[in-house]
Amino acid sequence: MSKVVFKHYGQGQVCMFPMSLDEKIPTNAPVRLLNQIVDNLDISEIIDTYKGGGCSSYSPRMMLKLILFAYLNNIYSCRKIEKQNLENIHYMWLTGMQTPDHNTINLFRTSRLKDTIDKIFTQVVLLLVEMGYLSLDVMYLDGTKFESRANRYTFVWRKTVEKNKAKLEAKILMILKQIEEGIAQDNQPDDEPPKPFNSKELKERIAAINRENLSKEETKAVKILEEKHLPKLQEYENHLDTLGNRNSYSKTDTSATFMRLKDDHMQNGQLKPAYNVQTGTANQFYIHFDFFSNPTDFLTFIPFNNGFKERYKKMPKKEVTDSGYGSEENYEFLQSNEIEAYVKYPLFHAEQKESFKNNPFLTQNLFYNKEEDYFVCPMGQHMDKVGTTTRESENGYKAKITFYRAKNCTGCPLKSLCHKAEENRKIEVNHKLNEYRKKARELLTSEEGLLHRSRRPIEPEAVYGQTKANCQYDRFRHFGLDKIKMDFAIFAVAFNIKKLHNKIENTPKKKSKMPLKDKNVIVFIFITPLFAIELVKNNFNHQSTQQAA
């Protein structure tokens, strides 16, 4: 039997030469790519947040690297970041063996990055554009809902507040009427209906009443108004101010609105405090994001695109979305900004079915004479124009609706199939919206449109799946819209860097041979991510030198 030999094991072994952590970090490790990218970012705005004086601070570039690398590894807690920095050699190498505690990390994240991380995100996206990994010409837009950290049971509903406020106003008016019956200053007729009033008007009326000689009962009633009803009225007013245009909000996070979330694969869920996060993606990178309190997507389209223009000083040339954005207002916005609208509308997929195309009774399939402005029903009867109206959206956009009515449907053998109303059939048509839908349908069914439609499910949908499932970023960990935007921006920067590393690792490296006189020596040139970043950096420096000259 051969002798078993083990390698020497001794925990007290001393090295003659100190070991370098750099030797332990693989050349293709994500931490090296992140380190190189952050070294090339302009962080002057972060540095401007420091006032100076006192003891020295940790390097803001080092702190930014530490937080981004933690988010890249799905670590979002400051205490866990501190622990990783003490145990993981990748963090040790990245921070140069410096050990900021969790309070320092949290302070840097909330105070230094709150107003600056958004521009850091923009810099990283522009760097990816320069490296050729994405383009800002085509944007895939979609929205998803992220649950807030707020308590899901401490909610305020607009209808409840308005209902209780109306009841309280009725009580207050009754008490005021009883008190003011004998006061000459009250000239309000008995038949005048009560008008809504606010707490300020109530204070003025109470002050006017207190200047009069009041009986014991009247004094008691005024005390009830001051101590009970007035604070409650102010509370309802504060609720309405916080609600703004929303229907609900959470007491523990007033920026969060209650929305129905899909909790499982069967899309079963319940109302929870959440944010409607709209994101634009390209090549599965985040290129823009914004937060909205409205759960519907079509109202967020225009402000989202305006935010994109503010970030990059231009609009995308093409936009691809699902049917949640196909409104007349959005189509008009796209046309006015010369953006190709690969934007579906609610009936787009239904129109592709044979059952829809072969149904002669649908308004969309009726023959329309544009010159004389009338429709023709399946029996050949003219449906003439009988009126118009305008409908206003929640954003204030006014759409023109035209009504058409058949002259006589009595005795028509197709009436039971055509419509169910007792009177003659009446239809409403939005001609402007129909023209926009026609242009969108032509784009969506073109060769390029089919390509964009095939890519849309693997663009924002895949990014959301990676964000919520792989990265475990499915619920916000902060209160307040400002901190939530800050936290998501940090995550988006880390997500883009991680995506860049994955694409580089999954792409075969190109190599070329340089002819040398010595045939025994062969030199390969590998295009590495660090080399590419250096090329971009040198290109920026060259352009800046030319502009200065």
Residue 271 is predicted with a pLDDT of 85
CA distance 342 to 316: 12
Region of poorest pLDDT, from 172-186, 309-323, 428-442:
172-186
pLDDT at position 524 is 32
Alpha-carbon Rg of the chain, whole angstroms? 33
The pLDDT of residue 192 is above 70: no
User: In whole angstroms, what is the distance from residue 28 CA to residue 23 CA?
Assistant: 12
Query: What does the alpha-carbon distance between residue 448 and residue 441 come to, in Å, rounded to a whole number?
Result: 12
Query: 525: pLDDT confidence band, cut at 50, 70 and 90?
Result: very low
Predicted local distance difference test score (pLDDT) of residue 421: 84
Average pLDDT for 213-223: 74
pLDDT at 220: 79
- What is the value of pTM for the model shown? 0.82
| Angle subtended at Cα 226 by Cα 225 and Cα 227, rounded to the nearest 5 degrees | 100
* Max mean pLDDT range (55-59, 86-90, 241-245): 86-90
Q: Which range has the worst mean pLDDT, 10-19, 500-509, 520-529? A: 520-529
Q: For residues 304 and 333, is the Cβ–Cβ distance under 8 A?
A: no
Please choose, from the candidates 306, 322, 313, 329, the residue with its C-alpha nearest in 3D space to the C-alpha of residue 464.
Answer: 322
Largest CA distance in the chain: 120
The better pLDDT of the pair 412, 75 is held by 75
CA angle 297, 303, 307 (to 5 degrees): 125
- Alpha-carbon distance of 483 to 340, in angstroms, equals 35
User: Is 156's pLDDT higher than 70?
Assistant: yes
In this model, does residue 267 exceed pLDDT 70? Answer: no
Which segment of 86-90, 281-285, 294-298 scores lowest on mean pLDDT? 294-298
pLDDT of residue 526: 37
Distance between CA atoms of 325 and 278, rounded to whole angstroms? Answer: 12
Structure tokens at 436: 């926009």
Of 8 and 529, more confident: 8
Residue ranges of domains in the chain:
20-113+508-549, 156-250, 358-432
Q: Which pLDDT belongs to residue 510?
A: 57
**How far, in Å, CA of 387 to CA of 489, rounded?**
50
| DSSP assigned state of 313 | S
- CA triplet 139, 142, 144: central angle to 5 degrees? 145
User: Amino acid identity of 226?
Assistant: E
What is the C-alpha separation between 145 and 273, in angstroms, rounded?
10
pLDDT at 256 over 70: yes
d(CA 279, CA 145): 11
In the structure, what pLDDT confidence band is assigned to residue 438 with cuts at 50, 70 and 90? very high
**What three-state secondary structure class fits 402?**
strand
Pick 527 or 176 by higher pLDDT: 176
Structure tokens at 75: 């670590």
Compute how many other C-beta atoms are within 10 angstroms of the C-beta atom of residue 430: 15
The confidence score (pLDDT) of residue 331 equals: 94
DSSP string, 248-301: EEESS-TT-EEEE---STT----EEEEEEEEEEEETTEEEEEEEES-S-STTTH
Q: What is the pLDDT of residues 326-385, one digit of tens each?
A: 999 999 999 999 999 999 999 899 988 989 988 989 999 999 998 999 999 988 889 999
**pLDDT, mean of residues 513-519:** 39
pLDDT > 60? residue 532: no
For 64, list phi and psi in degrees, rounded to 5. Answer: -65, -40
DSSP, res 389: E
Residue 519 has pLDDT above 50, yes or no: no
Q: How confident is the model at residue 313 (pLDDT cuts 50, 70, 90)?
A: very high
Report the percentage of the chain scoring pLDDT > 90.
48
- What is the length of the chain? 549
pLDDT at position 185, please? 45
pLDDT at 546 over 70: no
User: 314-339, pLDDT tens digit by residue?
Assistant: 999 999 999 989 999 999 999 999 99
Query: Among the residues of 211-352, which ranges form H helices?
Result: 216-224, 230-243, 301-312, 328-336, 348-351
pLDDT in tens, 456-491: 988 999 999 999 999 999 899 999 899 999 999 999
Handedness of CA 354, 358, 361, 362 (dihedral sign): positive
- The token pair at 48 is 């401007």
